[in-house]
Structure formats: structure tokens, C-alpha cells
Amino acid sequence: MRNVFTICGKEVRAYFTSPIAYLLMGLFGLITGFMFYSATVYFVNAGTQQQMTGQNSPMDIGQYVIAPLLGNAGVIGLFLVPLISMRLFAEEKRSGTIELLLTSPLNDWEIILGKWMGAMVMYLAIISMTAINIGLLFAWSTPDWRPIVTGYLGLILQGATVLAIGTFISTTTSNQIIAGGSTFAICLLLWVLSWVSNYADSALGKAVAYCSILVHFEPFSKGIVDSKDVIFYVSAIFLGLFLTARSLESLRWRA
Amino acid sequence: MIKVEGLTKRYARHVAVNNISFEVGKGEIVGFLGKNGAGKTTTMRVLTCFLPPSAGKASVAGFDVVDQSLDVRKNIGYLPETPPLYPEMEIGDYLTFVAKLKGIASNDVPKRVDEVIGRTALGDVRNKIIGKLSKGYRQRVGIAQAIIHNPPVLILDEPTSGLDPEQQREARQLIASLSGDHTIILSTHILSEVEQSCSKVIIINAGEIVAVDSVANLHLRRKGGEMVAIQVAGAPESEVRQKLELVRGVARVMPKDAPEGFVAFEIESLEQNAIRPDLARAIVESGWDLSELRTVGESLEEIFLDLTKSEATKAKATQEVAQ
């Protein structure tokens, strides 16, 4: 386990000594901040209007502000993940440092786990930017905290899944642009797969829609933790890391 | 320390290393010599467990590279052709990272890092970012990472390539200073390097070993007589030449450039004839001043060219030896 933390620590430092960490965090904060602002303004206006017209149907801040915020964070996160994962192995292959890792006394899975965890730390730092917005809500109101917790859990699981896939793709090439581009394309595909459920009712259609990553995220942002979604994410993470291990092994055989 | 038996490595389209066997004893410095693409790097990558062999066996420090890969890796320090450096890291941080990777106990890490920084003379630049270092410094960091866990076996792939002559000398001195504690294999295509640093040479050509021998023995390998260079002061060239050609055992006398007032020749002897005493006597007895007399050693370069050419790969022999 020590080796895992050694690699993980090195990855985290690599992110935070380059501008990429701050760039991604800044961009993410900016975009989600704007979305949060729009949603809040809309919520306040709608609430005021209701009071003025005398209607008194209750409006829930969780439903109008928090759920959309976390939902959007999930989509944006999907597009940022390739930028995090693309360098993991591609950079090592390009610069030759992969020889250091593969000739040091550590198991392949320690390398993979360390790198994936390092990427996770970076991802957590990025999505934690939304905590500023949520914090503001807590300062001026009393939103229900439970959907917030499940929402973040969903964000983390989704990010971990896409990072595992991205890690695998990064082992297949020594070109970071190719790694990032392919991961981006796959993220996009996994997102739009959910559209199938709009028109296909067949078993195949359902199966295709099941593979969409965002379909499994939505319940989390509404405060629902369904074991089938958790199982989907966890098994996808395992698949991604397993493929990474196979790919790294084949690297030795092909080299 | 290192034992290779019938090692073969096939890639998709070609055989990089074909059925090679050799052994390296404890404390030896072995030069792995061959043209570019001869299979040096491939062999080293198999020994360091970066690549598995297609056939045959290899073991390092008694551990098999396939079955006991982690043990082998603990016992090896490896400097690949391009030093495996992270350009964004500082030297000290990088070496700390490598030390941890190599399994050094956390408490000992700072001590070991200080030690190798001292040994490779990197103290002045320890807080510099690797990406900003010159090539010579990078190579030193590369060597530092290879020795950080004090491994019994060191494998250095072209440790001096791309360095200027001054840096090459430094790198060679550094390697020589390591020789006491470590068994070293270093690959190179620079022949003088082998002559200076290595006790034993393995010459590899087109994936096959053509010679395993000590440097001294290699010099004896080429058949034919010896070459003697001679320089004489205060005598006409034609007379000296005549005189020399009369000495018993002389096959050929070739005039050479000489400084003013001197004449110089290179003389080839017939097989197994020691002609030097007779040459000296002939000059002195004629009343001339003998200012120089020495054997011209067969350069390792010629031996190398000869060995790599005489093998089955004559077709490739026209390729220039990369210098």
C-alpha cells in the first residue's frame, strides 16, 4: 500500500505544480458559479412573484437550485475528466519514465491504483469548487443536507468511473492528445446513450440506456441512493482498472 | 551475478536477440558493445524485467527474471537510454520519489538521497527543476536514481551518449568509482569507453554474440604480424628504408609523415616474428639516432569491425559503424 501512496502523491504533486490544476479548478468554478447564480436568481424571482400573486405552493431550494447545480457539475465534470486522465500513462510512455516504474520493485496494480487515486484527488479538488456555492446557500437558508451528500457521492462515483476508463485509454497510446480525445469521445457517447430511452422500449434499448453514465447519476442528485446505480459505477470502475492492468501487461509483451 | 542462457527476444516482425548466452561474475564491469540496433537495449530490457524473453532464461543475483521478477528488480539499478526523469520535479524530490519506489524504508530515505547526491556531485543543483538541467547533469541524476537503493547489479544503457567530452570523462569516472561495490553492465558503441572502463567485453551483432573476452585478449585476436612505428633523426629517407627492408622478418616498410629533420616509417612484420630488437640494432649500427620505436596496437575499433563483419551478416557490413 505504501507504493500506492508514493505514486499517488507524485501524481498529485505533478498536477499541482503545473498550471493545469488551477486552470481546471478555475474554469469549473466559473461555469458552475454562473449556473448557480442563474438558478438562484430565478428561484428568488419566482418565489417573490408567487408571494405577490398570492399563490402559496411551496418551492424547494433543493429541487430548484441544488439538484440542477450538481447535475450540471456532473455533466461538466464528464468533460474535464479527459484532461485529468490523459497524461497518466501517455506522458510516462512518451518520456520513457514508464521504464522506471516498470523496472522498480512494485506490482502493476500498485502503479495503476496509485495513478487512479492521484487523478481522483485532482477530480475531488475540482468538484469541491461547487462547495463554495452550496456554502453560500447554507449561510442564508436551511436547505436539506441529505440530497447534497448523495449528490456528491454520485459525482464522486461518476468521476471515479470515467477516470478508470480514461486511465485505461491513457495506457494505449503515448500521445496525450489522442488519449484525451478518445476519452472525451467516449464520455460524450456514454452521456448521449441515455437518449435511447426516449424512443426505444425494447430490451436492447434498455440495455443501451443502462450503459449511460448520466442515467445513473440523476437519482443521486435527487437524494436517492439506489444499489443498482452504485453497483453499476463500482463494476465499471473495476472494469476500467482491470483493462488498464491488462493493457499495461501487454505493454511489456509488445513494447 | 548475471546468467543468460539461450535468450531469444522476438518482436512482431523481427528477432532482436537470437539465442544468446553469457555470464557476468560478481564485481565485473562488462562492456556491451554493438552497433545501433544490434540488440543491446533489448537484452538489457529483458534483464531489468521490462520485457519478458520469448525463449531462454535469464537470472540476476540468482533470481529468474520471469518467475521472480520483483526480486530481480530489487537487485538491479537501471539507467535506460533516455534517463527516466520527470522534468517538473526538483532533483531532491525526484530522488526521494525513486528511493520510495525502490522500497527503501522511510526513515532511511533522506540519508540515502543525501548519499547519492554527494556521490554524483549534485549538491549544487539539488533544488533545481530537472527540466532546466543540462544534459550532463541529467545523466548524473539518471545514474543517481540507478544507484539509490545500492543494488548489487547496475545496468547502464549508453551512459555517456550525447554528452560532451568533458562530461563523458566525468561520467566514466563516476562509473569507475562505482565498480567496487557493483557488478556493472554498460552498453555503448564508443569503443574507447570499453577500453577505459571495462574488464570484459561482449560484442553483439545482429542479435548474436560474436565475442566474449577481456579487452587484452581481444587485442591478441587478430592474426598476422605486429606493426612497429619507428622514427629516426638525421638520416636520408631512402637509406633508412633500404636498411630496414633488409632486417629479417620484415614484410613491408611504409613511409609516414615526420617532423622536419626526422624520417618515420611503419613496419609490418611477417607472422610471429619479433622484429623490434633487430630494427633498433640496424638503426644504431648505421650511426643514426633512433628517436622512437613502438608497437602500434591494433585498435579495438578494427577488431570490432572485423568481428562484426566476419559473421554471416556480410550484407549489413557495408553499413557504417555509428561512432
Per residue in B11-20, pLDDT tens?
888 888 999 9
B101–A3: do the CB atoms touch at under 8 Å?
yes
Q: How far apart are CA A189 and CA A202, in angstroms?
A: 20
Contact (CB, 8 A) for A221 and A147: yes
**Residue B154: predicted pLDDT:** 93
- Alpha helix (H) ranges present in chain B? 40-47, 69-74, 91-101, 109-119, 135-147, 165-178, 191-197, 215-221, 237-245, 276-285, 300-310
Judged by CB atoms closer than 8 Å, whether chains meet at A96 and B101 is answered as: no
Joined grid coordinates for residue A127: 468538484
Cβ <8 Å between B73 and A17: no
B63-64: strand order across its sheet? B15-24, B2-10, B55-60, B63-64
| A48-57, B11-20, B122-131, B138-147: the lowest-pLDDT one | A48-57
Q: Name the band, by pLDDT with cuts 50, 70 and 90, for residue B318.
A: very low
CB-based contact (8 Å) between B262 and chain A?
A: no
Close Cβ partners of B63 (under 8 Å, ≥ 6 residues apart): B71, B72, B75
Q: Does B73 touch chain A (CB under 8 A)?
A: yes
Question: How many CB pairs below 8 A link A and B?
Answer: 77
Structural domain of residue A32, as residue ranges?
A: 2-254
Domain B2-219, CATH: 3.40.50.300
CATH number of B227-295: 3.30.70.3100
Contact B50 A101 (CB under 8 A): no
Task: Per-residue pLDDT tens, chain A, 255 aa: give them.
Answer: 889 999 999 999 999 998 989 999 999 999 999 999 998 898 888 888 888 887 767 777 878 888 888 888 888 888 889 999 999 999 999 999 999 999 999 999 999 999 999 999 999 999 999 988 888 888 888 888 888 899 999 999 999 999 999 999 999 999 999 999 999 999 888 888 878 777 777 888 888 888 888 888 888 888 889 999 999 999 999 999 999 999 998 887 765
List the one residue out of B221, B218, B220, B158 whose CA is nearest residue B193.
B158
Separation of alpha carbons B150 and A137, rounded Å: 57
Which residue in B101, B128, B154, B156 has the most chain A C-beta atoms within 10 A of its own C-beta, making it the best mutation to test that interface? B101
Chain A residue with minimal CA distance to B85?
A97
Contact A255 B51 (CB under 8 A): yes
Q: Where are the domains of chain B?
A: 2-219, 227-295
Domain count, chain A: 1
pLDDT tens-digit profile of A228-254? Answer: 999 999 999 999 999 999 999 888 776
Give the pLDDT confidence score for residue B247 in this predicted structure: 84
Count of helix runs (H) and strand runs (E) in chain B: 11, 14
Burial call B127-159: b when 16+ CB within 10 Å, e when fewer: eebbeebeebbbbbbbbbbbbbbebbbbbbbbb
How far are the Cα atoms of A197, A200, A232, B107 from residue A204, in angstroms, in the given order?
A: 10, 8, 17, 58
Q: CA of A97: which chain B residue's CA is closest? A: B84
pLDDT tens profile A60-99 = 787 888 888 888 888 888 888 999 999 999 999 999 999 9
